[in-house]
Chain A
């Protein structure tokens, strides 16, 4: 079965978690991997699926047939291929439409990704869903049948904040009154809770000395709608300049009508909503953490919200949830495609499936169908000079479970766990396999309302327009914000990275959370998390430093050197495993550099230490691989860490100045 999907904000004052942890049902696993029988073509469960629709991936022949039919009719219900027509007739199909609308500008890459073969088949909701799926699965031209799983929302409690400029302190140069309560950015060690710890934050104040954002970096908030009219967000909203608002036309021809600030994929129109009955302000809260406008004397700060001169990163609202109207797999898939085709570089996703309902990447790939394809498409699209693909960041989940939920846990996405104002794991966070990194998400159960994350909220939700929430949902945008800040700095420096390179830098821009736990009083409560919170707690300044350049390692000449590489991989975090070079790919140095430095044996890596002897002085580059978030790399069959490679410069001399100076 494909379990329900939910946002990861938490009911703040509810002590017993109401997370519906849907158990895994063996009967729901598709039998076998070969999708050449009607049974194996159906990839997920009809449980929690929308009635009256199915997502179908056709083969190329059928896709072309439908395109041909569409050219001569507005509403298409038949393909021109007889067995397929018969099946469609049998289920009473009323429409057969492409899942991903045509955007002529990007149709070539859409087809290359195979997304043009995904269709939504609609029929009367009284039709038995399983029967319809089976009928279509038996047709040769159908390659995948996916039930349109309904996305379920977890109620998220909000504690409104009273932010008035006259009652809050200004911190240094930042004049946003709420900044003093945003411990998650700058934790002074007092004012929130007696157990808060100075420095248990994302260290953004130091990073702001280098950059505060760049408007060319667009972050898609795939969530509830973002209140684009909010006083502290409006200036940092992405605006589709090719679209004329509310004229009922697709002015820019991107396949979406009136999509000015994004698109409401739930209601299939450009009307972004944030205060429907059932909305919690989740999307607006998340957006504020990334890019609330800084230094405007109003409200709160955002990690990459600029300095008040209009230079913050931009927020695109690719709306997935809307009030009580539940989304589905169709909506989710479209949200990623839309974000990719309209310029987003980061997909911020504070939602996922119940922890434990999928336990391997193979499970996820097999069942996520169109959604998986949509996310992969997002990753493949280059929307910025500084990054050659899209960065996908998910919340790990709030099930207090010893493994990350999916999609976060998938090895090519980033899974974010949550910490509290004392730097410790938040009581609800998922951790363990699949978890890549940690960030502040707050803990209002143990540290009071102010122990939550303070950010923007729609005025309809909180009169002041600001409030506290907690969850891995709140940790996730901290990671997205820091990533956006890193990309902004790369833009400033004119640097360019591959997705792989940047992800490696990002995951290694951390502080050691395990040492913190070891030193933290005698509460054994935290033992269970040791080594399982990913690479550590994200640090914006480390991100900036990593973007700046390749770390330089000084080596002595003519001596056996054993250099502990761990400080170059984040902050010596225990859940970064520097791979021993038992394989050729774990440590690479060119033969030319080896000869130049007089290296006759090795180098090699053992227990995180570079062991090397250089007989000649000189300089070279080495590439070292490591596993982030585990001891072994994840695979289709097992959850594990992510393999990343870090580039290090080495300078060999007889004696180095201890301050790093050349002379």
Chain B
């Protein structure tokens, strides 16, 4: 059943959070600041494990940054459904930017790397230094990949309306 797969995906994300050595440090520092470096690899599959200092996330985000500068984003802010976005990104210095396939731009982020045993990237919004997301390297669950659907905004365009 789909739900059980989704639950597994969320549990997998929780497990990533639980194993995060930086857990519980509070604040927006994203853990031990000494571990963050300006160099590292951004390519790979990442799970959002902390946002603005909290790991108690009822929202789920997986981000796949590919070598060919394409990305795939899976997110669920509602209870169950995972939505899939795609597009391209660029990394210029330590500024990560992107454009969705529908032409909508990302915010610009400053990227830092945790190259320790637990691979992580920290993305800080350039427009808001308090908006700090920490992503931890992971395998994106097949259940998420297989069951993700088009974003709600796209689905809604399928609707017919009176007049």
Contact = CB atoms under 8 A, between A and B. Distances in A.
A616 B54 CA distance: 13
Interface stretch (B29-37, B101-109, B138-146): B101-109
Given A492-B2, A550-B78, A655-B107, A617 B130 contact: yes
B131 A549 contact: no
B45 to A, nearest CB: 15
Nearest to B78: A549
B117 interface: no
Contacts of A519: 163
Interface stretch (A103-111, A164-172, A509-517, A579-587): A509-517
A659 B102 contact: yes
A423 interface: yes
Contact of B104 (A203, A571, A657): A657
A493 B143 CA distance: 13
B125 A494 contact: no
B78 A511 contact: no
B127 interface: yes
Interface stretch (A3-11, A142-150, A194-202): A194-202
A247 interface: no
Contact of A537 (B2, B130, B153, B162): B162
A141 interface: no
Contacts of B152: 545, 660
Nearest to A423: B162
A657 B106 contact: yes
Interface residues of A, number: 48
Interface in B93-138: 98, 100, 102, 104-107, 109, 125, 127-128, 130-131
Contact of B131 (A198, A511, A619, A653): A653
A548 interface: yes
A199 B52 contact: no
Contacts of B57: 619
Given A537-B162, A617-B131, A660-B151, A651 B77 contact: yes
A513 B61 CA distance: 37
Given A495-B80, A549-B78, A663 B131 contact: no
Interface string A502-536: 00000000011101100110000000000000000
B162 A511 contact: yes
A659 B153 contact: yes
A657 B105 contact: yes
Interface string B69-96: 0000101111111010100000000000
Interface string A610-649: 0000001111010000000000000000000000000001
A138 interface: no
A494 B79 contact: no
A216 B153 CA distance: 31
B54 A618 contact: yes
B78 A515 contact: no
A621 B57 CA distance: 12
Nearest to A201: B160
B67 interface: no
A661 B160 contact: no
Contact of A617 (B52, B77, B80, B102): B52
A548 B162 CA distance: 23
A651 B63 CA distance: 18
A660 to B, nearest CB: 5
B107 A552 contact: no
Contacts of A493: 2-3, 80
Nearest to A189: B160
A551 B79 CA distance: 9
B159 to A, nearest CB: 6
A616 B79 contact: no
Nearest to A558: B128
Nearest to B104: A659
A291 interface: no
A15 interface: no
A653 B158 CA distance: 28
A662 B162 contact: no
A206 interface: yes
Contacts of A549: 76-81
Contacts of A520: 163
Nearest to B71: A663
Contact of B85 (A511, A545, A661): A661
Contact of A512 (B48, B79, B156, B162): B162
A203 B159 CA distance: 8
A606 to B, nearest CB: 26
Q: Which of B54, B156, B162 has most chain A Cβ within 10 Å?
A: B162
Contacts of A16: none
A209 to B, nearest CB: 8
B1 interface: yes
B78 A494 contact: no
Given A197-B162, A199-B160, A661 B80 contact: no
A89 to B, nearest CB: 61
Q: Which of A200, A513, A655 has most chain B Cβ within 10 Å?
A: A655
B59 interface: yes
A460 interface: no
A203 B58 CA distance: 31
A200 B2 CA distance: 32
Nearest to A513: B162
Contacts of B63: 663
Given A541-B159, A659-B85, A662-B61, A654 B131 contact: yes
Nearest to A557: B128
A151 B162 CA distance: 38
A412 B114 CA distance: 56
A658 interface: yes
A385 B153 CA distance: 30
Nearest to A650: B77
Contacts of A619: 51, 57-59, 77
A618 B127 CA distance: 15
Contact of B3 (A494, A618, A663): A494
A362 to B, nearest CB: 37
Contacts of A515: 162-163
A618 to B, nearest CB: 6
Given A494-B3, A545-B152, A653-B131, A516 B80 contact: no
A616 B59 contact: no
Given A519-B163, A649-B78, A654 B127 contact: yes
Given A423-B162, A494-B3, A617-B128, A550 B79 contact: yes
Contacts of A199: 160-163
Contacts of A660: 83, 151-153
A423 B98 CA distance: 44
Given A197-B163, A206-B158, A516-B163, A655 B127 contact: yes
Given A492-B1, A511-B161, 8 more contacts: A198-B160, A199-B160, A201-B160, A621-B58, A654-B131, A660-B151, A660-B152, A662-B73
In order of increasing CB-CB distance, the 6 nearest A-B pairs are A549-B78, A494-B3, A654-B128, A199-B160, A549-B79, A552-B77
23 contacts: A198-B160, A199-B160, A200-B162, A201-B160, A423-B163, A494-B2, A494-B4, A512-B162, A519-B163, A545-B152, A545-B155, A548-B78, A549-B81, A550-B77, A557-B131, A617-B131, A621-B58, A651-B77, A654-B131, A655-B127, A657-B106, A659-B153, A661-B85
Interface of A: 197-201, 203, 206, 423, 492-495, 511-513, 515-516, 519-520, 537, 539, 541, 545, 548-552, 557, 571, 596, 616-619, 621, 649, 651, 653-655, 657-663
